[in-house]
Amino acid sequence: MRVLLTGGTGRVGSRVVPLLLNRGDRVRALVRDEARGGPLAARGAEVMSGDLRDPAALRGAVDGMDAVVHLAAATGRDAGPEQMTSVNRDAAVALARAALRAGAARYVFASTYFVYGPGRGRPAAEDDDLKPQGDYPNSKAAAEDALRELYRRDGLELRIMRFALVYGYGDPHLTTSMARIRTWPAHRRLHLVHHADAGQAVLRALHTEGVDGRAFNVADDAPITAAELHRLHGRPLDTEAADRPLDDPWAGIVDTTRIRAELGFRPVFPTIYTAWDAGAW
């Protein structure tokens, strides 16, 4: 399959490109900085530079492709609300429209489990109403809505991946998140997914037939408590952490029944401890 991938120099994309190439797919990576795409080119990917907000760049990127894996995003680390909307919603929709015109109807879209919001009293499932809180999840939820309309109206072969917090293989994302987790109750849990399994999920969504229009939660089998995360990082808990109230013990926890049943997903690293033991932290 000829696959256009965005976000190839990012945390997830840089690890998905080799998986696609190893499977035998032909990969074109659309990157903002061509120099940063050097490692992708060295692995055998075609690297094309361009901005997701440039219609001409999108037309050139999708030309000759069979499918799109859209992993690029603007987050709160490097963008304000307007940029997150223009990149995460508007550019995602423009890319999908360009892909449809080029005959690359299959479209894997990276979203986030933050689109659910709290207050369900159970793990969030894919058919739940979305209640995003914050600029980043709002922009992703808006993109999902617009892409679903293209699925219903124009035949976009949409597959939405709602990733838990991705970690592993030296990615500092979880470690940098510890500043926020430090303020949590000791028993609040965080749902994670290892990079190996994020990549597995993307490949399964891309190559599985009969799942158009479906959303999938992508997470491991065992959410981990703030207390355990502190211990794994060698950091002491705040003395008041045990007494902090936990209003919603299910906030940020998702149901993975669908991805297991429909995509055959089984985590390589079902818990953070298996990744730790394997040296894949």
* Active site amino acids: 136
Cα angle 268-271-273, degrees, rounded to a multiple of 5: 110
DSSP helix/strand/coil, 219: coil
Neighbouring residues of 281: CB distance < 8 A, sequence distance ≥ 6: 167, 168, 272, 275
Q: What length is written for the chain? A: 281
Taking a C-beta distance cutoff of 8 angstroms, is the pair 27, 42 a contact? no
d(CA 57, CA 66): 17
Taking a C-beta distance cutoff of 8 angstroms, is the pair 153, 100 a contact? no
Write the DSSP string, 121-176: SS-B-TTSPP---SHHHHHHHHHHHHHHHHHHHH--EEEEEEE-EEEBTTB-HHHH
For 102, the 3-state DSSP assignment is helix
* Helix, strand or coil, per DSSP, at residue 140: helix
Q: Quote the CA–CA distance of 258 and 268 in Å, as a whole number.
A: 17
39 Cα distance to chain centroid: 21
